[in-house]
Amino acid sequence: MTSKLFILIAYILLISCNNEVKQQSYESFDSKDLNYANKVLLESVMEDAFTPPVASRIYAYAHLAHYITLQSVYIDSLPEITSKINGLDNFTAPVNTNVDAKLSALLAFSTIGKKLIYSEQFFNDLSEHLKDSALKKGFSEELVKSSEDYALNITKQLSDWIDKDMYIETRTYPRFTSTKKPENWRETPPDYTTGLEPYWDNIRTLIIDSANVYKPKPLPVYDINKNSDFYKMVYEVYDESLNTTDEKGKIAWFWDCNPIMTVHKGHMITTIHKFTPPGHWLNIVSQITEKENSDYYTATKAYGFTATAMFDAIIGAWHVKYKTDLVRPVTYIQEYIDPDWNPILQTPPFPEYTSGHSATSASAAEVLTNIFGENYAFTDHTQLRFGLEERSFLSFKKAAHQVNLSRFYGGIHYVQGVEEGGKQGAHIANIILKKLQP
């Protein structure tokens, strides 16, 4: 080897090493940063008191923006999903030039979160926090700017897609009016609120082909005869309330997840904001990924797939709810069994069948079982902030089963409603897992 050739090779190696050092001279973001972003999302949705269906939409779109942005840079890190999401066929990833994928993904998350809520300051603060953190980690201003521009390119495409999901149109549809027929849902105490999101099955699903992918078990024919199957189905709820225990009451309250609970004292009404059912499960994801010290890609998949499954499961449940339009236990019991009876939990303002919380929880449990394992034991601390104790579970599916029991113990659902809701959510989640995973 000539001396000139040796010098040339040494120079090339030196430049290569310098470039590598330059590219890796900053500290990367990790799953703790993603968990913090998720916390901001949950807090903002709770602050604005969005209903469970609307909350599921906000959660899903923010986490999908994060997932899609990250995967578009590191294409082998996660399964590609944009081609499998309804209506997103024309998505085009920007040219990847000098961006940090995790920073871009987190900024995309923040941008979409801000688009979908009222309290925008939550996400203004998050974006500033992320950019300040990047500079403190050693990112150059140029890298921060290019990462932000990359995220904006993606969120512009996603924003256009989001606006076509029929949400805006359903805001203009007529208010739902109950039929006043005895077998149908009617406004329930204490607030007698009109039916919530009666057109939610018009919302574009993310992965499943339609809201009607699960056919629930037929309901008993409405009847007030004490020997009828319908009466027995209702009386089971009443009988359970007469024989309840402190433990069953704790289970009911732990999974209440009523985002707008009202407390009536004379003429004064106080509103308490709490996590929605899908928000509760996303907080479980945060706890699990923190406990496991999950790598960034596992955490991204857990959030993205879980939020997607819950979004589609709620659309499916709402489709059945307003097609069956079934009376709630409190209405039937007060009219035909015990006029002074009230359930432990406040009855949500929409038809009974199927249970939306059961569908939501079962879909989340299927996804998390797929990622973390069949018998993954965990302790959920979500409700500590609301004055309730923590609860431990031997698996995600056992936690979802307890959700079913909680709605029955709470007096707001029939056994068939929670069982079929659970089956519906699991069915939808398995369709999604089959489509999204390679």
Quote the number of domains for the chain.
2
- In angstroms, rounded to a whole number, what is the distance separating the alpha carbons of residues 184 and 188? 12
Q: Looking at the structure, do residues 150 and 215 belong to the same domain, yes or no? A: no
The CA distances from residue 250 to 153, 172, 245, 257, in Å, are: 47, 39, 9, 13
pLDDT for 272 equals 67
Q: Looking at the structure, do residues 147 and 264 belong to the same domain, yes or no? A: no
Beta bridge partners of 379: 392
pLDDT for 270 equals 61
Q: Looking at the structure, do residues 100 and 216 belong to the same domain, yes or no? A: no
298 in any annotated domain = yes
Q: How many other CB atoms are found less than 10 A from the CB of residue 7?
A: 10
Q: Looking at the structure, do residues 228 and 271 belong to the same domain, yes or no? A: yes
For 54-99, the pLDDT digits (tens) are 999 999 999 999 999 999 999 999 999 999 999 999 999 998 779 9
For 12-51, the pLDDT digits (tens) are 444 443 333 334 467 899 999 999 999 999 999 999 999 9
Residues of the chain whose pLDDT is less than 70?
A: 1-25, 260-272
DSSP 382: G
Q: Indicate which CATH number applies to the domain containing 280.
A: 1.10.606.20
Q: Looking at the structure, do residues 266 and 333 belong to the same domain, yes or no? A: yes
323 in any annotated domain = yes
415-436 vs 396-409: helix crossing angle, rounded to 10: 150
246: enclosing H helix or E strand: helix 246-254
pLDDT for 260 equals 67
pTM: 0.92
What would the two tokens of residue 40 be?
A: 């901001």
- Backbone dihedral angles phi then psi of residue 269, each to the nearest 5 degrees: -120, 125
